[in-house]
Amino acid sequence: MSFLPSNRLLLLVAAVTVLAIGAGPWPGLAPVWLAALLAVVLAGVLDLTHSLRHHQPPAVSAPPVVRMAKDRPAHIPLTFEHGRPSARRLRFGLGLPAGFASLQDDLQVDLPAGAPRARIDWPCTSQHRGRFAGLVACTETNSQLGLWQLRRRTAMTCELRVYPNLFTSRRALAALFLNRGQAGTKLQRTIGRGREFEKLREYQPGDGFDEIHWKATAKRGRPITKVFQTERTQEIHVIIDTSRLSGRQLQHEGVTQTVLDRYLVAALVLLLAAQRQGDRFGLLAYDDRVRSFLRAGNGATHYGACREALHTLQPSEATPDMAEIVRHLRTRLRRRALLFFLTDLSDPVLAEDFTRHARLLSRQHLVLVNQLRAPEVGPLFAGAEVQRPAEIADRIAGHARWAESRALAQTLRPLGIAAHLLEDETLAADLVTQYLQVKRRQAL
């Protein structure tokens, strides 16, 4: 608690000073300014003493956890403990952690008479993901006579959790939430007879010999056929690379983001699609070792757990250790699953290491590798015309990287691994499309 003289007290002191100056040429004013000075001092002391005991600024509190999305306007609910029979006005400011911005520095809060509590919403926007603490509430109110300004600075026990902004993938989300049969852009026909055993039935003309259950046929003495159905519940795992190359920055809708930010948004959209399809989904984040791992589950609760695990991830300076990652996956994932790798294999050493170890995963799981195409990577004669001679070298370098990515895809194809180079604007939508195509073809 601190206190400062208000403008009213300063004006009174200035008036006493004027009387004191006038007492020089007019000695008769000496008793007047001395009495005025004594009155001002006495009023100030009494007002300060009474206000410190009975007129302190109200206590301010916030919820233990406040959730918001990155680069999206949000509000922090604040509660003022009033509990006084008379109305009250105070000046309030909220100190935010680094990386947060607010449109206002302070505001005037009117506390109604007789209300035990009053609530306001403090607007703010976060430019970073993660968990943040360090909110500071600063309140200022006038004393009973208005001669002092009483100030209180309180550290609040409130945690701000900033999640990836899914609104940056509005196109994918719009297609995802259209209710047209399955949770996709349109109703799609499932190819094949299904892979999951449903029941046994009597043989009917036209059934193939590969559909006959020979043990049941021998036991019952008549042909018995196996009936299959489309597999409804599958396991989907999103594997996110948080190593040094994921820290590359790019511009998305006018906002500077890292590649990891785009991976996290796309991963959450893909997991949301898997939830709506009724599949089991999990995730893994790695650099030189496994940083976060959640086994496959389903439902809104498990999706919330995945979101909590992802929003604190940050790019590291480590180099991926694919041998450790593959060992972990082969140990933990016993059932055949669909693995979405979100990584950057533009480094030839990393690409070779990934190819060497991914062949072990492809023997049991269906692996899809997705990379985010950098703006300068592409075919040599694609895009706008060259404007400056210096752009020629950049175009050649971008073409070389594009050719390396195509060569990597051709190397992985015989292993049963599909590699894709995706655009930033359609990253989430392309991942959902790949997932729905696997479901439709029953490739898993």
Please give the model's pTM, rounded to 2 decimal places: 0.78
Question: Phi, psi (5° rounding) for residue 258?
Answer: -90, 165
Q: How far apart are CA 283 and CA 366, in angstroms?
A: 15
Tally DSSP H helices, then E strands, for the chain: 10, 22
Which pLDDT tens digit goes with each residue over 236-274? 999 999 999 998 888 877 778 899 999 999 999 999 999
Q: Percent of the chain, pLDDT > 90?
A: 38
Which pLDDT band holds residue 329 (cuts at 50, 70, 90)?
very high
Three-class SS string for 382-437?
Answer: CCCCCCCCHHHHHHHHHHHHHHHHHHHHHHHHHHCCEEEEECCCCHHHHHHHHHHH
Q: How far apart are CA 384 and CA 382, in angstroms?
A: 7
Determine which of 141-155, 182-196, 294-308 has the lowest per-residue pLDDT on average.
182-196
Report the pLDDT averaged over residues 276-290: 91
> How does 413-434 read in b/e, with b if 16+ C-beta sit within 10 Å?
eeeebbbebbebeebbbbbbbb
Of all helices (H) and strands (E), which one includes residue 31? helix 30-54
Q: Which domains occur in the chain, in start order?
A: 1-163 (2.60.40.10), 166-188+231-441 (3.40.50.410), 196-229 (no CATH)
| Angle (nearest 5°) at CA 329 between 231 and 248 | 105
C-beta separation of 98 from 117 below 8 A: no
Which pLDDT tens digit goes with each residue over 86-100? 777 888 889 999 889
What is the per-residue pLDDT for 154?
Answer: 87
Report the pLDDT averaged over residues 191-195: 53
Report the pLDDT averaged over residues 268-281: 90
What is the per-residue pLDDT for 440?
Answer: 82
Q: How far apart are CA 443 and CA 200, in angstroms?
A: 24
Q: Counting beta carbons within 10 angstroms of the beta carbon of residue 436, is it exposed (0 to 12), middle (13 to 18) or buried (19 or more)?
A: buried
